[in-house]
Structure 1
């Protein structure tokens, strides 16, 4: 592959005023974002799916450049506050001049795997007047991933660059405690969705003795490998996600591996598909949970720092599954300030409504909100808050619940 020539060629193909799509997470075409940061591209509208913590946010945009993303990127670009399913539906109603998509080297004729990152690309590919396929040797060829027929591409460019990586690191004692509580609710044969981070990694490590687990998730990371190698996963199930984001070692392990489908969000976050999984356990984090059981996944101190991502899609599906459950796991306090993350009322937006939250888990235990009225929910949430905050939370609930002698609804 002629990397330098390929980069110059890619930059020269992008036109002023276009609507251009490029995926995020491990699908980010890094030479394109490098060129954007260096000011070498003409002004156009970039629609993407960059993930904070995985994809570095641009420090700024050249004059005339526009950027749209489902995650907030600080002062850069336009943030659409949609779930992954909602963003997928929005994209399906748009038209694009160009889709720049990263693929693995084709193994069978002209069919190239999207590898570890499908996300929104399959939807956008159907809505784009021109496709630029970037063939990257570093992208693992997953036989069960979404594929692109390179004959559909107007341009095929070879570029070699390392994929974006993400590693949660060793789980803390707090993450281990939270994971231990959650693990009690995941039995053999469950369909499991988790996000990225220390608690999900610690949780999956605790499921090594389960059998017949089925992965039905948005993002998947290195922590899936021990389950696969230890026999915890159902060998008959096509373990599915829209992206796998991990270390270089994880990408190497995935290369050529069957049984792991990386598909578009129009499939992975489709309510009908999730309903067919059966026994879906959705495990997500939150910034704070209030005494009604509402969860804020997006704002801290009045500032947007993240997005609801796929949590809303999976939480709703798990709640409606007779054998499923939507679980929120979070530390009881904010590290450093020790402020409570179980709060009387949310300081941010409602990312997950109370009817889509079944269990709230902290290091202090499990608040099982299923079948509880407002009073019972508040009592159980206070019981898993940090001990030093429980009296204040109880007093706050008493003021909210009985302003005129009644009960909160």
Structure 2
């Protein structure tokens, strides 16, 4: 078995198979694993653990764990453990269809929280002790420090708090990634906190590697397997139109003196529409852009390569297979332009406010007054989770939400009388954009917001119904500040559940 990436003698002595490493994890444990949006997650131990869990179930023995990560992972982790019915609790974010199915059927408890809260909550013990950490790294240095892989996430917290540590050394990860990371060890819990010394998005305030107590390391597993992210679909007409509206708006803000010519640090959620916005920025004429975000997608790599984006700060990647190969092939170029931080820094509300980030995130629906639902279908079924969108929405300089105006072939309107679940309140939402137009909600009282959202963002097939609801709500509702007809406010959602369409 190769140990070329393991330069510490003690760590080399701990190299075992994935099956032997998985044997250190017992039923009922709380296990914290690396991974953020399909990058830097362990590839071998979760699969071996899933097989062990299945064997236990076949023998009539109960075996489930509580799973914590940075954010979403991939089929080898979330999918394998969910299919094996090996998860009792999942937090803080997921995108796996098997896990989602079990969450929505009530078989799996899911805690959906802001990503900036995770480390603090774990340090305060809200989820109990961390029994085992399973962390993927690019290499282990001679002094025993760990070179992170393509995500940092909550790995610092997991390594600090876990009773046992299992390390996966993945040879697929570029060894020259050393130097890209900035791991800050200056955070503390209240009342001992001090200001974080980061005033520019490209400031380096930490070190290149992760620390681990060698006495806690029980196994090292050698792997050679790629990160797995779904390829982005080519931008459709709606995505391109949404991107055009947003970029034109940003140019308008520059012309008014509300934004500098190189904008402010960008934050982009994951998905085809944000990726279309990034592609649009490449042709927009903007230069000298920066990013302080959670995730780097294909579009940001393109912007870095073209020089439109000077640098980007993140905690993980969400790259297509082609972009992954581009990143690895030109790792030395990107290492000079990308800084990877811990999740508690990349999503820190104080830093988002200080830097004045421009947040660009997706949504499921928005209502007449600007409340946004980004997580639940028809109020009850979780889609993925809030992730870090709230960290940037409430604290950024601009918070924008992007979505097509229709879903399910036109049976669902993204603009509704009242959202069926609230993730982002009207107080935090600045801009809503669909392929129909852009609604700037800043400085508008509720009833004026309603007019702008209906006129600018609603699809014509639902616009008359929205206007009818709003007019009657003003006439017959309980009050005029935020007019609603409570018996009807969620009737569109109920109609979809009953008939398969929001339309009458």
The TM-score normalised by the length of structure 1 is: 0.89
Q: Which residue of 1 aligns with 2:459?
A: 386
Q: 1:300 to 1:18 in 2, by over 3 A?
A: closer
* Larger relative helix fraction: 2
C-alpha displacement of 1:276: 2.5
The answer on whether the counterparts of 2:28 and 2:66 sit within 8 Å (CA) in structure 1 is: no
Q: Return the alpha-carbon distance in structure 2 between the equivalents of residues 229 and 388 of structure 1.
A: 42
- Structure 1 or 2, whichever has the larger Rg, is 2
In 2, distance between residues paired with 1:66 and 1:32? 18
Aligned to 2:306: 230
Question: What's 1:75 paired with?
Answer: 102
Structure 1 residues 9 and 59: CA distance shift in structure 2, 3 A:
closer
CA contact (8 A) 1:227 1:233 kept: yes
User: Paired residue for 1:51?
Assistant: 72
Which sections of structure 2, spanning at least 5 residues, go unmatched? 4-14, 57-62, 184-208, 251-260, 483-504
Asked whether the equivalents of residues 68 and 78 of structure 1 are also in contact (C-alpha less than 8 Å), the reply is: yes
SS of structure 1 residue aligned to 2:418: coil
Taking the TM superposition and a 5 Å limit, the aligned residue runs for 1:301-312 are: 301=378, 302-312=380-390
For 1:173 and 1:36, locate their aligned partners in 2 and report how far apart those are by CA, in whole Å.
44
Task: State the partner residue of 2:406.
Answer: 333
Q: Corresponding residue for 2:429? A: 357
Deviation (angstroms), 1:83: 1.3
Deviation at 1:106, TM superposition (A): 4.0
Structure 1 unaligned segments of length 5 or more: list them: 319-323
SS at match of 1:293: coil
Q: Is the 8 A contact 2:139 2:148 kept in 1?
A: no
- SS of 1:207's equivalent in the other structure is helix
Contact 2:34/2:40 (<8 A) preserved? yes
From the superposition, tell whether residues 374 and 40 of structure 1 become closer, same or farther in structure 2 (CA, over 3 Å): closer
Partner of 2:491: none
2:427 alignment partner, SS class? helix
- Whether 1:377 aligns to 2:449 is yes
Partners of 2:22 and 2:45 within 8 A in 1: yes
Give the match for residue 321 of structure 1. Answer: none
Tell me how far apart the structure 1 counterparts of residues 358 and 351 of structure 2 sit (CA, whole Å). 14
The structure-2 alpha-carbon separation of the partners of 1:40 and 1:53, relative to structure 1 and needing over 3 Å to count, comes to: closer
Among 29, 38, 43, the alignment partner of 1:18 is 29
Secondary structure of the structure 2 residue equivalent to 1:395: helix
| Residue number among 252, 257, 262 corresponding to 1:188 in the alignment | 262
The 3 A distance-change label for structure 1 pair 5 and 404 is: closer
Q: Aligned pair in 2 of structure 1 residues 332, 305: CA closer, same or farther (>3 Å)?
A: same
Q: Distance in 2 between matches of 1:202 and 1:108?
A: 43
- Counterpart contact for 1:22–1:46, Cα < 8 Å: no
Are residues 1:346 and 2:419 paired? yes
Say which SS state the counterpart of residue 354 (structure 1) adopts: coil
Distance 2:164 2:210 in 1: 13
Measured in 1, the distance between the counterparts of 2:465 and 2:74 equals 34
Backbone CA RMSD of aligned residues: 2.6
Provide TM-score, normalisation by structure 2: 0.73
Q: Which moved more, 1:87-96 or 1:299-308?
A: 87-96
1:171 Cα deviation after fit: 0.7
Distance across 2 between alignment mates of 1:59 and 1:149: 28
Q: Given that residues 315 and 326 in structure 1 are in contact (C-alpha distance below 8 angstroms), is that contact kept between their aligned partners in structure 2?
A: yes
SS at match of 1:308: coil
Equivalenced residues, count: 399
Structure 1 match to 2:275: 201
Matches within 5 A, 1:310-325: 310-318=388-396, 324-325=397-398
Report what 2:163 is aligned to: 129
Tell whether the 8 Å contact from 1:271 to 1:313 is kept in structure 2 after alignment. Answer: yes
